[in-house]
């Protein structure tokens, strides 16, 4: 394990009415903002109205791009970039779940590089400068508000893939009230996504004492909210705030370490079969935990409220269910997941144990046997 280090340059404000209360922080980024959202949820939860009111308060102009789909595509990024250039925006606000926030980062990159085409998004070693980004999460999983990661659907590669640029938001505003409008399925899928970040950061070859401290705190917070995710307790304002905190801590943890094998396996499941991200990632978590050092596995499980891997798997099935696709189709996709990840030595190296294609296959198929 490497020595202590910490780097998370996003300025974060949490609390009630954070968007209106800290609107003045956005004034430094320019005279006009592009607000990036999905098609419906930003209106339903009230975050879009709050952003507009906040920008009006500080005299900042704005326009909106509301066409971000789940697992945003490269094509959507380029369409938004071209719109932003026509509107002469100075900075980007991503509001919603991981998709709008990841999209906002990529759009900000491409605004800065206005003469470049879509291939620039995956050009390793290129200039990664971008216009400023503000992130406002409305779900409790992604952690994108505190990471440098932007994951896009890439039709050329036929999968989801992180772009090779570090794009931390300059500012993140976190308010649990937006989560109160999420449905139970969204709560579960995003809540388990946060847990996957905590587990994959804790059980990771790049883990440090500092990153593990953050992950452990996140697991403790997450544990308190398992009754909400399982439907045994209704979501209230306190638990909404707590779930958002767990997601933020998960993001801070993976900002240091990156994710590991479950994320690498999950992308084909989401791209090819449309399985929601959190559900797809945690489908592979049982096998990953079993492959880990027993002491690390036991501590991670205990901190997050589980006595065994089997108990975790039961909770996952209860909250998220197995992917709802024919088993033969699922098996074909699992084989593709395994083969693809075996060809990615950088992602395989994130596991703190030896990885080969046989192990990846065991991990991929483990949840079908529980």
Question: DSSP 3-state assignment of 175?
Answer: coil
Of the listed ranges 113-127, 305-319, 321-335, the one predicted with least confidence: 321-335
pLDDT digits (tens, 9 = 90+) for 33-86: 999 999 999 999 999 999 999 999 999 999 999 999 999 999 999 999 999 999
- Which pLDDT belongs to residue 370? 67
- Which pLDDT belongs to residue 368? 87
184-369 CATH: 1.20.1090.10
pLDDT digits (tens, 9 = 90+) for 178-220: 999 999 999 999 999 999 999 999 999 999 999 999 999 999 9
- Which pLDDT belongs to residue 155? 86
Q: Between the CA atoms of 269, 271, 275 and 276, what dihedral angle is there, to the nearest 10 degrees?
A: 120
Tokens at residue 321, please? 């269910």
Question: DSSP 3-state assignment of 23?
Answer: helix
CATH topology classification for 11-177: Rossmann fold (3.40.50)
pTM: 0.96
The percent of the chain in helix, strand and coil, each rounded to the nearest 5, is 55, 10, 35
Residue 170: which pLDDT band, with cuts at 50, 70 and 90? very high
- Which pLDDT belongs to residue 181? 96
- Which pLDDT belongs to residue 1? 45
Q: What is the mean pLDDT of residues 164-178?
A: 98
- Which pLDDT belongs to residue 7? 83
Q: Are the folds of 11-177 and 184-369 the same?
A: no
* Cβ(89)–Cβ(45) below 8 Å: no
Element (H, E) at 95: strand 91-96
Would you list the domain boundaries of the chain?
A: 11-177, 184-369
- Distance between CA atoms of residues 68 and 193, nearest Å: 20
The residue whose two tokens read 């094998």 is 261
Q: What is the mean pLDDT of residues 304-327?
A: 94
Tokens at residue 146, please? 């505190």
Q: Report the percent of the chain where pLDDT is more than 90.
A: 92
Examine the pLDDT at 341 and tell me if it is beyond 50.
yes
Residue 323: which pLDDT band, with cuts at 50, 70 and 90? confident
- Which pLDDT belongs to residue 3? 59
Q: What is the mean pLDDT of the chain?
A: 95
Tokens at residue 73, please? 């595509």
pLDDT digits (tens, 9 = 90+) for 5-17: 778 899 999 999 9
Q: What is the mean pLDDT of residues 91-114?
A: 98
- Which pLDDT belongs to residue 369? 80
* Cβ(286)–Cβ(312) below 8 Å: yes
């Amino acid at each position: 394990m490497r020595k202590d280090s910490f780097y998370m340059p996003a300025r974060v404000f949490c609390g009630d009415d954070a968007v209106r209360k800290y609107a003045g922080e956005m004034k430094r980024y320019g005279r006009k903002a592009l607000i990036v959202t999905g098609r419906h949820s930003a209106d339903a939860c009230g975050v879009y109205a709050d952003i507009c009111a906040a920008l009006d308060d500080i005299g900042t102009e704005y326009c909106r791009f509301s066409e971000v789909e789940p697992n945003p595509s490269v094509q959507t990024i380029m369409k938004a970039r071209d719109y932003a250039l026509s509107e002469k925006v100075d900075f980007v606000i991503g509001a919603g779940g991981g998709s709008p926030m990841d999209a906002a980062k990529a759009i900000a990159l491409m605004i800065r590089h206005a003469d470049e085409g879509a291939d620039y998004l995956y050009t390793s070693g290129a200039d990664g400068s971008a216009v400023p980004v503000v992130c406002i999460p409305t779900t409790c999983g992604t952690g994108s508000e505190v990471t440098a990661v932007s994951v896009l659907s890439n039709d050329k590669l036929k999968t989801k893939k992180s772009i090779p640029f570090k794009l931390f938001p300059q500012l993140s505003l976190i308010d649990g009230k937006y989560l109160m409008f999420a449905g139970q399925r969204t709560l579960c899928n995003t809540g388990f996504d946060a847990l996957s970040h905590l587990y994959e950061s804790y059980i990771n070859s790049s883990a440090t004492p500092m990153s593990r401290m953050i992950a452990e705190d996140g697991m403790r917070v997450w544990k308190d909210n398992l009754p909400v995710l399982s439907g045994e307790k209704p979501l209230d304002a306190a638990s909404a705030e707590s779930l958002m905190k767990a997601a933020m801590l998960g993001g801070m943890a993976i900002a240091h370490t990156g994710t590991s094998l479950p994320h690498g396996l999950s992308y084909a499941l989401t791209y090819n079969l449309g399985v929601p991200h959190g559900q797809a990632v945690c489908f592979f978590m049982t096998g990953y935990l079993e492959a880990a050092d027993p002491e690390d596995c036991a501590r991670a499980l205990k901190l997050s409220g589980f006595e065994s891997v089997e108990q975790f798997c039961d909770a996952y099935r209860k909250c998220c269910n197995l992917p709802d696709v024919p088993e033969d189709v699922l098996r074909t996709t699992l084989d593709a997941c395994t083969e693809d990840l075996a060809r990615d030595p950088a992602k395989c190296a994130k596991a703190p144990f030896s990885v080969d294609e046989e192990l990846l296959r065991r991990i991929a198929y483990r949840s079908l046997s529980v």
